Structure 1
Amino acid sequence: MAEIVNLNQVRKAKARRRKEAEASANRTKYGRTKAERQRREQEQARERRVQDAHKLEGEETPSDRPPDRQPTDDA
């Protein structure tokens, strides 16, 4: 006698396998190695240091302002 199969479960399992295969391909295609990630982090840290070194004393950037001092459009 044939085995009874729940078609809903089979369909969902097939979809999971397809998605996992696609995710694996994308990780290979778009993923970065650990060395590449570390290099990018080091570059970003260096860029922040260089930018911070060029700031004038007392200079405020919009992100440095406290929330109560943010500009408003109530003009």
Structure 2
Amino acid sequence: MATPINLNKHRKEKARAEKRKAADANAVKFGRSLAERRLDQARAEKSARELDGKKRE
């Protein structure tokens, strides 16, 4: 005879796994660390400054 399972526990565990899967997908899609975002921003600002410095009047 098989051991009985708690269906509520199984349902909640399945929902948690789906949420974890969605969270991992979002982390890959949107997740960048603060340091990476600041580095990109600093690079963009530097290139803008260099471009402004090379403009002729």
Classify the TM-score, shorter chain: 0.5 to 0.7
Separation of aligned partners in 1, 2:10 and 2:20: 15
* Match runs of 1:1-75 below 5 Å: 1-33=1-33, 35-39=35-39
> CA shift at 1:35, angstroms?
4.5
Question: Percent of pairs identical after alignment?
Answer: 45
Separation of aligned partners in 1, 2:28 and 2:21: 11
> CA shift at 1:33, angstroms?
4.3
TM-score by length of 2: 0.61
Higher Rg of the two aligned structures:
1
Give the secondary structure class of the aligned counterpart of 2:3.
coil
More relative contact order, 1 or 2 (CA 8 Å, 6+ apart): 1
Unaligned 5+ segments in structure 2 are 46-57
Separation of aligned partners in 1, 2:41 and 2:11: 42
Separation of aligned partners in 2, 1:31 and 1:24: 9
TM-score by length of 1: 0.48
Unaligned 5+ segments in structure 1 are 47-75
Structure 1 residue ranges, 4+ long, deviating more than 6 angstroms after superposition: none
C-alpha root-mean-square deviation of aligned residues, in Å?
2.5
